[in-house]
């Protein structure tokens, strides 16, 4: 049992050393940045679609639903377009 535990710890240490190697870390960083940009793009697209659908709904007579969708689209646009800009400003301030 003690030898099995020792083998497990040795395998875990080898796995951690392999995963934390700088070459893998660079790939993980690139993948994280790409994933973040994809999520931001999807958020920006859906915010614009929300604004458009809210305006269309208001123009065809569904005022209450149109207002809710329009306001949601505006809030989403402010978050997805303004959020990354605010984060970049804060990075520069505290650099």
Which tokens is 33 given? 């940045």
- What is the pTM (predicted TM-score) of this model? 0.60
Note down the domain range covering 16: 2-93
What confidence tens digit (pLDDT) does each residue in 55-72 have? 999 989 888 888 999 999
Rounded distance between C-alpha atoms, residue 8 and residue 25, angstroms: 24
First vs last Cα of the chain: how many Å apart? 51
Residue 72 tokens, joined: 């949601």
pLDDT over threshold 90, residue 43: no
The reported pLDDT for the residue numbered 56 is 92
What's the domain count of the chain?
1
Q: Tokens standing for 3?
A: 């030898």
Angle at 27 between CA 8 and CA 24, to 5 degrees: 30
């Amino acid at each position: 049992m003690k030898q099995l535990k020792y083998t497990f710890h040795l395998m875990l240490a080898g796995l951690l050393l392999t995963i934390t190697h700088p070459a893998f870390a660079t790939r993980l960083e690139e993948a994280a940045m790409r994933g973040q940009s994809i999520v931001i793009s999807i958020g920006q697209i859906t915010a614009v679609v929300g604004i458009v659908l809210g305006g269309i709904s208001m123009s065809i007579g569904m005022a209450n639903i149109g207002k809710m969708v329009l306001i949601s689209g505006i809030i989403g646009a402010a978050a997805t377009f303004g959020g990354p800009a605010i984060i970049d400003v804060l990075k520069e301030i505290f650099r």
